[in-house]
Amino acid sequence: MTVLTLTPGAVTLADLARVYFDEAPVRLDRAAKPAVDRAAAAIRAAAEGAVPVYGVNTGFGKLASITIAPKDTATLQRNLILSHCCGVGEPIARRHARMVMALKLLSLGRGASGVRWELVELLENMLEKGVTPVIPAQGSVGASGDLAPLAHMTAVLIGAGFAEYKGETLPGPEALAKAGLKPIPLGPKEGLAFINGTQFSTAFALAGLFEAWRCAQGALVTSALSTDAIMGSTAPLQPEIHSLRGHAGQIEAAAFLRQLLDGSVIRESHREGDSRVQDPYCIRCQPQVTGAAMDVLRMAARTLEIEANAATDNPLVLTEAGMIVSGGNFHAEPVGFAADMIALAVSEIGAIAQRRVALMVDPVLSFDLPAFLTPAPGLNSGYMIAEVTTAALMSENKHLATPTVTDSTPTSANQEDHVSMAAHGARRLMRMVENLDRILGVELLCAAQGIDFRAPLVTSTPLQNVMKRLRKDVATLGDDRYLAPDLETAARLIASGEIARATGLALPQVSP
């Protein structure tokens, strides 16, 4: 795979999406090296001096008042990493771990951390050769950095911990050796530079963002299918309605829905003489809800793009000012807010989609579709319990959408007395998008079934393309069958983006 060269401070969401989805290996633009070298030289000078500099020749956290002798600075950094390897829980997925590593590279590449270039190269080589540290999922409160997970990542660089290499989980030194790499002992401040930072929280927030955006694209498609399945009106998509309000996401969602439904024979068949005056909100207000969620996701995206390019350890080396200064860039509050925003958007996309599913299975509301979308109600239950499953998933996501950033607690003997909880706020997004994939997958199945019942009338060309893609893997439901595989297949088609791409249309992008 081609190595992706990234410029610290100028990385885009498109770059980060490649790191996440493609697991692309990463190298820093070599123009970053002089700044990294200057900061490393400043740290070496400080370590040899008599003036206390936090984390260079002092202890950490509440122990910052204790001075460390120059001969012990290397031991200090090694002890820091080993003592902070206190993560618990299941190891995070490989792609998430690689995203953490890439984000740490970007932060170090800003030239404010004081690490040697050879450590940058080791991290790059680990990415390229596929040495992935085993990082437990739990243990970070998202302030003073993602200390425990980043310590587990860093442990492999110094010849400790564990790593995955070619499908095997091995002790860190063995994994490095098999890849032709060697561990590097840490110098002054280098351990602190690696574990102070928001890269774990940011990696999961970005992953949640990318997956949520695919869900938003899929939701526009499934909602258009549902509109045709219940013979809904396209009048609420009139452009002037949305321009009068002015929200970009709403305007874009309405425009895309118009494209999706343009040319539908089903729609034209009831344009005149339809006794219904208005559709329920889950049909009529799709642009206002999904479009608003798109706006929220884009706001979160901007925050996370900034954070991905940030130097977030402590202290920071300000080479032009000739200073090494303690600050608080490790505090993941911006990431925590972004994760909460993404969670709210995911929850709401699922909430309105679930109501469309409920609409389609209800013969009172579905405009003459058979009960539970089965050709023989009574003998068959059709999608009755599939709809119940979506209700369960929707409710679960509502609970998971509760903000985490408001839940602070003091740690480290009250030295770190306000924390962001961004790490688990971002991690929960994976569970939420999986739930949403399944909600939208059920909507896809129900809407396609409903459109099949409208034959010989047909939907639009883009939506016919979607139907063809679905029917390659999932047949129209006749008599009841074992449905679990159908639900998983439909969810996979949503999650992969295949359903949205099957339209053949240019899709809304998270960076408009």
322-358 per-position pLDDT tens digit: 999 999 999 999 999 999 999 999 999 999 999 999 9
Angle between helices 422-453 and 461-473 (to 10 degrees): 100
The residues annotated as belonging to the active site are 54
9-40 per-position pLDDT tens digit: 999 999 999 999 999 999 999 999 999 999 99
Cα separation, 18 vs 102, in Å, equals: 11
**Section 359-369 average pLDDT:** 95
pLDDT at 417: 79
Q: What is the SS3 assignment for 381? A: coil
- The answer to whether 211 and 433 have CB atoms below 8 angstroms apart is yes
The residue length of the chain stands at 512
pLDDT at 411: 85
pLDDT at 49: 81
191-205, 271-285, 344-358: least confident range: 271-285
218-232, 408-422, 471-485, 491-505: least confident range: 408-422
Cα separation, 140 vs 119, in Å, equals: 24
- Pairing type for strands 4-6 and 26-28 reads parallel
pLDDT at 156 over 90: yes
pLDDT at 275: 78
Q: Place 373 in a pLDDT band, splitting at 50, 70 and 90.
A: very high
**Section 36-48 average pLDDT:** 93
- Comparing CA positions, the residue from 136, 127, 125, 104 lying closest to residue 36 is 104
pLDDT at 208 over 80: yes
pLDDT at 13: 97
pLDDT at 510 over 90: yes
Q: Place 292 in a pLDDT band, splitting at 50, 70 and 90.
A: very high
pLDDT at 64 over 80: no
pLDDT at 2: 87
pTM assigned to the model: 0.96
Q: Place 511 in a pLDDT band, splitting at 50, 70 and 90.
A: confident
pLDDT at 512: 67
Q: Residue 67's beta-bridge partner residues?
A: 58
* Percent of residues, the chain, with pLDDT higher than 90: 88
Write the CB contacts of 296 (distance below 8 Å, at least 6 apart in sequence).
341, 342, 344, 345
pLDDT at 244 over 80: yes
pLDDT at 8 over 80: yes
pLDDT at 273 over 80: no
**Section 170-188 average pLDDT:** 97
**Section 42-70 average pLDDT:** 81
| 287 burial level (CB within 10 Å; 0-12, 13-18, 19+) | buried
94-138 per-position pLDDT tens digit: 999 999 999 999 999 999 999 999 999 999 999 999 999 999 999
Cα separation, 493 vs 503, in Å, equals: 13
H-helix or E-strand spanning residue 194: helix 190-195
**Section 466-470 average pLDDT:** 98
Mean per-residue pLDDT of the chain: 95
